[in-house]
Structure formats: C-alpha cells, structure tokens
Structure 1
Amino acid sequence: MSRYPESVDVVIVGSGPAGATYARILSEEAPDAVVALFEVGPTVSDPPGAHVKNIEDPAARSIAQERSEGPGAGADTVSSPGAVTSGQRRARPGTYLLEEGFQEPGEDGMPVAAFSSNVGGMGAHWTGACPRPGGSERIAFLPDLDDLLDEGDRLLGVTTDAFDSAPFTALVRERLAAALDDGRPPAQRVQRMPLAVHRRDDGRLVWSGSDVVFGDATRANPNFTLYDESLVTRVLLDGGRASGVEVRDRRTGELHTVRAWFVVVAADALRTPQVLWASGIRPDALGRMLNDQTQTVYATRIRDAESVAPAGASGSTAEGDVGVDEIVDGAISEQSGVTWVPFTDEVPFHGQVMQLDASPIPLADDDPVVPGSIVGLGLFCAKDLQWDDRVAFSDDEQDWYGMPALRIHYRLTDRDRAVLERAQAEIVELAKVVGEPIGDRPFTMPLGASLHYQGSVRMGETDDGRSVCSPDSEVWAAPGVFVAGNGVIPTATACNPTLTSVALAVKGAKRIASDLAAH
C-alpha cells in the first residue's frame, strides 16, 4: 500500500526554511488542517531538518552532507584546500552542481549554481546570516514587511549576541564603524550580524535549520506529516485551480496522486519554476528576472593583534591555503564572530566580515598568528535586473530526477561590472582599515557561489505580466497554488535573502489559514 494519503488540505513541496514556515504557521493557525510535506531527498539528521553543523561527530556530519548531494554525492567539494582560488568548479559540502546548462555560449551563466536534496534543504547547510533588507532591497508594496520580518526572526531563532565573547569581534566592528558610519542612518551602520544561532546554557552553539522553523507546534501536530524521498512531478489543476499533486515514491518508483485544496511549491529558486513548468503553469514571467549576487572576498590580519589579544591568546602557525574556502563555506567557528556592513543605495553592496582560523595564503612556518586575528571579508553586490536573465526548461530533455532539464541564461550588465569593480576597490580599503591585507588582490567568486538565487517566481503588486505571484505568494495563473523561497523576492538584493523569504512565506501561510477557516 502507498505510504501517502489520498487527500489532504494542503500539500507543501520542499522542506527548506520557506516550506517549513508554511508547516509551522498552518500548525499554529489552522491546526485542524491536514498537511503533507514532500521532500525529494532523504532525512539526514535527528531531528529532521537540523543544521549539519549541530552534528558533533565529524564523520557523521560528513555522511549527512554527502547524503544531501543527490547526483553529486562523492564529488570533490570546496572543503578541499585551495579549491576556490585554483578555479576548480566545485560545490560546497552538502550541495551539488548542474552537470550542464549552467552557461550558454556567449553568456556569463552561473557556473557554480548549486542545489541540496535533503530534509531541511539548504537550511541544513547555510551560514545562518539573517540581515534585514534596506533601501531598494525592500518590497515597497508590502506595508506589513517589518511585522513579517519580525515573524521571520521568531521562526528562525535569530540572535545578535551569540559571538559577543569572540576574540577581536568588537575591535573589528569598531574599526569598520569609524571608517564607514559617518552619514549613515542608525539602521545602516556597522553592527553585529543577525544570525540564526543560539548558545545553550552549557555554552554550545546550536545553528537553526528547518527543525527550528518547524518548532514544537509542527512536531506535535498530528495532522502534519513529512514524507522524505518523495518527488513531486507536477501540480494538478482542476478548472485552472489547484487540486493536488502527482508524487513519485523514490523508494519504490511508484507514482501516486494526492488531492489537496492548496499546493505550496517551495523547492528552491531553480526547481520551483521547474515544477510549475512541468505542471503546464507557464506564465510569461516564469523563470524570468533571475538574479544572483556577485561576490568578492579578501582577507586581512588584524593590526597590532599581539598588543590587544584577549587574555589567554597565544601565537599559532597558520595552516596553509584554506582561508578563502572558509569564507566561501561560511566557516564561523567557536572563536569567530560576524560583523555586518549593511547595503545602502549609495553603496550598493552588503558586507560580511568574519574571523578565520587560518590565513588564505600560506605563511612562513615561523610567522606566528594570534588565534582569531585573520579576518575574512566578503562583499555581495546587488544585480541589475533583466527580463532575459532566466532559467529555461526543456520539454524534451530530462534532469537526473526525470524532471524537465533546465538551462540558465545569465549576463552581467555594464552596471553590474562597474559595481563589482567598485566593491573590489572598497574591500581592499576595508581590509586596510582592519589590518594588513593578505595577498595581492581580492578574489571574485564564480557566479552562482552566493547560492542566493532570486526572482524566478517573483512577487508582484498586480498581475501585470512581469510577476508570477501575488503579494500573498499565490500564483496569478493558478489559484490555490502558492510559491515560496528566495525565488519569490522581486527586488535586487545584496543581503542574504533567507529571512526575507521566510517573512514572505509567513504572509502566504496566513492567507491559506484564513482561506481554510472560510471553507
């Protein structure tokens, strides 16, 4: 017999933070609704959806990461020393790359566009950074955006004090603030990075994944069930309205139909439009306005670190060419902290500054390094939005899962290149403010490295042909079908998008809860 129900009230496709948000809000506001969540990947943690950083045993953590890598399992990743700076095309641990379709002839493409397939999605592998959007990053037609962001903070367990005791964190922030804060309003001044992490009473850090978003309300809800290794192949429509899904049990290969009043597609910014395309839901804006964030990284050694080192710090030797990889992988250790340089419309990039445990270039064996004194800097640039930047799908070719093969069409504009050049100059100056820059020049990450893809199922104020969904995230062309995740964000952002996508999911979930109550 099938392990799936014949019918439910709500189907959720994808178990990342946005999909988990729908499950949580529905559990809180519509507890009598029967909800089924389908995830294509396996359960890799206990509790399901937990961040892999919380797995203390390194071998067990590595296994969880590899099980999240779908068709890319076993491939080398950027955790290998020097993989980024040597130009090798590799994914981060826990993710996998497109084998083809990532770059069309004559275009920039996204060579390292990546995915995760596991319960918790990318929320099991992310850095946890939750800055709020500012200026033109904000969605102007959502008057309740700040209230929704507050809800996002609640669901993700966002804090700002988990690393207050980290060596040099306050010093780095003070030096950057002295150089940058003049003329900035308070909300855009240098500050602690809001992070989805908390410190337990025993001092151990716990990183938020979808398990935190699910919360006790979802786990205790007898009407909610999560089905892993379950591929939703298409959304079913009846009279143009959502009526359920087809789902393939990846354990048996059997295809089943599950009926539902509402379907939420929260796969990710590339696979959510893929599911809609496979379902025959193909508005003109589907996959369009795709955008990423170009990223430049650099490192510096804190000036006069020896004289201001915290009590107990002692010299150590750098451990080789691994620092840039650590910046890419978001390796925030127990000794590290994160400083946030907010985006402004005048300075159109967002900065993350975090301490590393090693230098990004080899140092001499006799060159002592005070622990925590190597600082990594990363600047993310907002994209110049273009209609023709898009993810397109094939009716003839299939991907590894048997879904329509995707191809990315993506170009940087002259403005994009100018902003990136400005960021490269700015990051050198910031490195000098903090200390002594390490290396000849900053490194620009290959496109797709941010994993912050947005816009592919973008939200719009009205159905003007330039958006896929309403302010409540309901697909204009298919009532009862909702989309979720970073792809819904309609603005060009430089800041990490997860908090915003969770906030938008809160709004969509409340709309479904209201509609269910009215039935």
Structure 2
Amino acid sequence: MSTRQYPTSVDVVIVGSGPTGSAYARILSERAPEATIAMLEVGPTVSNPPGAHVKNIADPVERARAQVASEGPGERGEKVASPGAAKAGVRGARPGTFLLEEGYAFEGEDGLPVVAMSSNVGGMAAHWTGACPRPNDSERIAFVPDLDELLDEADRLLGVTTNAFDSAPFGAIVRERLSAAVDEGRVDATKVQRMPLAAHRRDDGRLVWSGSDVVLGEVTRENPRFALFDETLAVRVLVEGGRASGVVARDLRSGDEHTIAARFVVVAADALRTPQLLWASGVRPEALGRYLNDQAQVVFASRLRNMPLLDTHDPTAGLAEYSGVSWVPFTDDMPFHGQIMQLDASPIPLADDDPVVPGSIVGLGLFCAKDLRADDRVAFDAEHVDGYGMPAPRIHYRLTDHDREVVERARQEIVRLAEAVGDPVGDRPFTLPLGSSLHYQGSTRMGVADDGTSVCDIDSEVWGVPDLFVAGNGVIPTATACNPTLTSVALAVRGARKIAAVLAREQVATKSASA
C-alpha cells in the first residue's frame, strides 16, 4: 500500500491520512472502484498496518518509538504530561504530538499555548482516546438534512461500539452515581451513558483501538488503484481555469518535487494545516482560518468509595479495565461535555498515586463549548515559516466573558460530579492550558452560502474553487463540546459520496461516447 513511485495523474489526490482523509479513500474504494487515488502524508509510517493506533503496540519501547516518530520536524524526545506541569500551565506536548514553536499567542490575547499536531500515517487517530459521542442540541449542524444517516456511516467506518468495557466491574457503579446527579430533566439521548468508542475486542479479549487503519479497511488496502505516500509534503494545490487540478508534492526523503494532476483534490491535513495549504496555494476565501475554536477543558479526579481492591495488572498489557469510559452529554442548558474514565485511560494524569491502586481513581473531564468569533483565527504570512518550510500557523484567540463564565460553571459542576462519584482527589479542579483538547474546529467551516462566513459548501467543496474539497474537524461550523471526530468523518462521507457520484457519471458518459 506504500510506494515511492509517484503517479503523474490520478482521479483523486487526498492530502492527509487521518480519519477523514481515510474516509474519503474508503468511500471512493467502495463506490468508485475504478477511481485511482493517491494519499499523501507528511509524516512517517509508525504502526502496522499503516495508520493503526499506537496503543495497540504491545511493546512499550516500540510504542514510545512510534510516538516520538510522530512528533514532527523539530526536536523530539520523551514527553511527560505530569499533574504538576498541567496544574502549573506549563507548555508541554503529549506523547505523539508537537507544539508550535512560536505564534501560539500574542500580547493581549489568550492564544492557544499548547495547540498541538501529529505528523504520521493515521494522524492524530494514531494517538486519540477513541471517544465518538454524537452531537446534541446546538452542537448539531441543522442545515445538513442527512446528518443522522451520515453519523451512522461514520460509526461503521470507525468501528464504534458502546460495549467495549461491558466487563469493567466498576463501570455500572460510576454511571449509576453520575446518573443520580445528572439525569433528572434530561431526555434519553442526553442522560449519562456508556461512551461510544472506536474500539473492538479481539478473539482473545484484548481491546484494540481504531485508527485510520480501521477507517481504510480491507477494501481500501486491497484496492490496486489506491496508493499511500508517506513522508510526502503537499507544497501547494494547483488551480487551473478556476478549478483544482492537482498538487505539487515534495518527497521528504529525497527532496524531489512531483506534480500530480488530479480530477479532484481533497485536503484533510488538520484544522491548522488544511488552511495553511490553501493559503500557500493562493486559495484564500474570507473565512479561511477564521472561527477557530478549541474546547476549554477542566479536569479533576475522584477516589471511588467502598470499592474492593482488585489485583494489580501488567502495565504493558494495555488498559486496566475497571470503570471503563462514561459520557455525560452536552446540552444547551449545561454547555459542556463530560468524559469520565478510569485513570490509566486518561490522556492527562490526574492523581499523584505511584503506583495508582487499580480501580481506585476515576478521572473526570469537562469540555466547554466556545463562543464562535471570526477574529479567533489561524493566520499566515510570507515572513514566517514552519519546520517544513510552509507558512507558519499564527494563532489569534481570545476567550469571551461568556466563555469564562462557562469554564467557571464547569469547574463547579465537575466538583459536584466528583463528589457524586466518590471522594475528590486534591483541593480543586484545574483548567488545562488552552489547546489541550486537541479538538480544534471551524478554520475551514461549512456553510450554506458563499457569504464570507464559511469556506466550503454542504458537500465540503470550497467556494469558488470547484473540485477542491476540505475535510477534518475544521469543517465543523457549530460550537461543540463533544469530541468532534465522529462528526468530521460523517461530513467527509458526504463529500466523498459527491465525488464518487461525479466520477460514476463521467465514467458512464465516457463509455457511452466510445460505444
């Protein structure tokens, strides 16, 4: 599936190998099997199969090596997200990610101090928590009429399940205690429940987390017309006659540049690097990079009361599955999304126990919806470049008074939830540095009209540049608090279906003309 023989032309070129780029490849492989597809990824292949989640790598040394290899073009090394560092607001990236060296904040602004990215086959989906909740209330995109069907399809592509932790002995207890504190007045969809997770069980019972490998599926891996090129930088999108016509790609191993003509171009880089590539290509709609939003994140921990001690576990064998992952859904009345998980599943350590007594600590996290503002943006200029030589992302970002009120409400609510679950650990919750959620959205947002407030239409096709599509969390136009991957994959499905339909019509027309 990985090759260095760059094609001169393909039907579709996809920039980025994360879950949305992989969704395009999967849907096209299923619906347009005659289409030739080239996928370009700036980072290396770090797992087998390509795009697999690094948590599935059993050897901790190999897992750490895969994480380091994902940390972009700058200096790499061991990274520890310690409780002390998080509480102090210290800039530090999680393993498998890297930070902006500069331009993450400007004087008088809040900025996104720990805004982070990954460069590897599979993108951030090789490192994520796998949470795939559905949007609720105002999180939903009202102008997408088939949103629920698209979310169903995203569930299929990501391999989402709600029963991965059914055997966890403490899961039902945690949810029962949360439900008593939360559920009154809520409809069934927003009551406390199991977190939908992109994960499945092997026959031997081991938990396997979905990455882009699951999204691609066997149909894509076995597609002879699909090729993946890792360590390949898309330098610019080519636009001829007002339409996207291909890309210029640089082989980072050799430094050679290749022009790949394409009937369609899909840019699925991430919420920072997708607008970066469009800007570098001279495709600069008014809303490009604007309406950028992160989810402010408040975290706390609680020690379960009256729980029997369980046997210790082998830390190299994967997660200790005690309480599983539970979900407190967003509502407009309570504008945050709750993710409650056993401590060793949490991406941020929340207690200083060393070692943590298995099953004793539950981590709680609340993600807050953001006021959407055009001035919150990622910007680019000709003077600043990143480690790849591309225009460097420069973040302009402020919390509004309302945002601060929501964060304070979340701090109060998380204490209430921690007390409902058990005995809070520590004196107070802490608010992580902005950018910690890794859920950046809005920078290539979808809209219903080319009125300067959106970058693409309902099919994710860029306004004014036919045949150029964008994908990823940046396309989401609403203020969400829930994890965005399921929604962004759902939107990618819609765009991929449009491309597949056009290719099918053109194929029929070609056959008719030659008959």
TM class by shorter chain equals: over 0.9
Shift of 1:69: 0.4
Work out the CA distance in 2 between the residues paired with 1:299 and 1:2: 48
From 256, 259, 272, the equivalent of 1:257 is: 259
From 4, 24, 29, the equivalent of 1:22 is: 24
- Deviation string 1:423-467 (CA, Å, 9 cap, x unpaired) is 000000000001111100001000000000000000001212100
Aligned to 1:403: 390
Work out the CA distance in 1 between the residues paired with 2:462 and 2:146: 20
Work out the CA distance in 2 between the residues paired with 1:10 and 1:401: 24
CA contact under 8 A between 2:299 and 2:432: conserved in structure 1?
Answer: yes
Aligned to 2:211: 209
Instruction: Specify the SS of the correspondent of 1:510.
Output: helix
**Which aligned segments of 4 or more residues in structure 1 are displaced greater than 4 angstroms?**
none
Aligned to 1:500: 487
- Deviation string 1:292-345 (CA, Å, 9 cap, x unpaired) is 000000001112224xx6xxx25x79x9xxxxxxxxxxx954344111000000
Instruction: Specify the SS of the correspondent of 1:396.
Output: coil
Aligned to 1:328: none
CA contact under 8 A between 2:473 and 2:484: conserved in structure 1?
Answer: yes
The answer to whether the aligner puts 1:378 opposite 2:365 as a matched pair is yes
Aligned to 2:512: none
Work out the CA distance in 1 between the residues paired with 2:210 and 2:104: 30
CA contact under 8 A between 1:332 and 1:356: conserved in structure 2?
Answer: no
Aligned to 2:101: 99
Alignment of 1:326-365 (within 5 A): 333-356=320-343, 360-362=350-352
CA contact under 8 A between 1:242 and 1:479: conserved in structure 2?
Answer: yes
Alignment of 1:308-457 (within 5 A): 313=310, 333-356=320-343, 360-362=350-352, 371-457=358-444
Q: 1:281 to 1:411 in 2, by over 3 A?
A: same
Matched residue type, 1:87: G
Work out the CA distance in 1 between the residues paired with 2:174 and 2:371: 31
Instruction: Specify the SS of the correspondent of 2:9.
Output: coil
Matched residue type, 1:439: G
Work out the CA distance in 2 between the residues paired with 1:9 and 1:483: 16
- Deviation string 1:207-234 (CA, Å, 9 cap, x unpaired) is 0000000001101100000000100010
Q: 1:21 to 1:510 in 2, by over 3 A?
A: same
Shift of 1:492: 0.3
Matched residue type, 2:447: G
The answer to whether the aligner puts 1:150 opposite 2:137 as a matched pair is no
- Deviation string 1:342-370 (CA, Å, 9 cap, x unpaired) is 0000000000011125984446x9xx975
Instruction: Specify the SS of the correspondent of 1:404.
Output: coil
Alignment of 1:211-230 (within 5 A): 211-230=213-232
Aligned to 2:131: 129
Matched residue type, 1:466: T
Work out the CA distance in 2 between the residues paired with 1:92 and 1:281: 32
Instruction: Specify the SS of the correspondent of 1:9.
Output: strand
- Deviation string 1:229-270 (CA, Å, 9 cap, x unpaired) is 100010001111011000001011011110001000000000
CA contact under 8 A between 2:243 and 2:468: conserved in structure 1?
Answer: yes
User: What is the CA RMSD across the aligned residues, in angstroms?
Assistant: 1.9
Aligned to 2:509: none
Aligned to 1:71: 73
- Deviation string 1:143-194 (CA, Å, 9 cap, x unpaired) is 1000000000000000011111113110000011111111100000000000
CA contact under 8 A between 1:78 and 1:84: conserved in structure 2?
Answer: no
Instruction: Specify the SS of the correspondent of 2:334.
Output: coil
Work out the CA distance in 2 between the residues paired with 1:17 and 1:362: 34
From 274, 281, 290, the equivalent of 2:292 is: 290
Matched residue type, 2:56: N
Work out the CA distance in 1 between the residues paired with 2:402 and 2:88: 27
Matched residue type, 2:433: P
From 10, 33, 41, the equivalent of 2:35 is: 33
Instruction: Specify the SS of the correspondent of 2:215.
Output: helix
Work out the CA distance in 2 between the residues paired with 1:73 and 1:44: 17
Aligned to 1:462: 449
Aligned identity (percent) is 70
Shift of 1:76: 4.2
With normalisation by structure 1, the TM-score equals 0.93
Work out the CA distance in 1 between the residues paired with 2:244 and 2:18: 22
Work out the CA distance in 1 between the residues paired with 2:234 and 2:332: 40
Work out the CA distance in 2 between the residues paired with 1:504 and 1:108: 30
Matched residue type, 2:193: Q
Work out the CA distance in 2 between the residues paired with 1:61 and 1:37: 24
Shift of 1:81: 6.3
Q: 1:194 to 1:60 in 2, by over 3 A?
A: same
Shift of 1:129: 0.1
Instruction: Specify the SS of the correspondent of 2:244.
Output: strand
Shift of 1:373: 2.0
Q: 1:343 to 1:12 in 2, by over 3 A?
A: same
Q: 1:113 to 1:144 in 2, by over 3 A?
A: same
Q: 1:248 to 1:421 in 2, by over 3 A?
A: same
Aligned to 2:511: none
Aligned to 1:490: 477
- Deviation string 1:184-206 (CA, Å, 9 cap, x unpaired) is 00000000000000111101111
Aligned to 1:83: 85
CA contact under 8 A between 1:472 and 1:508: conserved in structure 2?
Answer: yes
Work out the CA distance in 1 between the residues paired with 2:75 and 2:132: 28
Q: 1:338 to 1:361 in 2, by over 3 A?
A: closer
Instruction: Specify the SS of the correspondent of 1:487.
Output: helix
Q: 1:200 to 1:345 in 2, by over 3 A?
A: same
Matched residue type, 1:65: Q
CA contact under 8 A between 1:72 and 1:97: conserved in structure 2?
Answer: no
Shift of 1:80: 5.0
Shift of 1:75: 3.5
Work out the CA distance in 2 between the residues paired with 1:56 and 1:369: 21
CA contact under 8 A between 1:73 and 1:96: conserved in structure 2?
Answer: no
Matched residue type, 1:442: P
Q: 1:72 to 1:372 in 2, by over 3 A?
A: farther
Matched residue type, 2:499: I
Instruction: Specify the SS of the correspondent of 1:150.
Output: helix
User: Which runs of no fewer than 5 residues in structure 2 stay unpaired?
Assistant: 507-515
Matched residue type, 1:138: R
With normalisation by structure 2, the TM-score equals 0.94
Instruction: Specify the SS of the correspondent of 2:154.
Output: helix
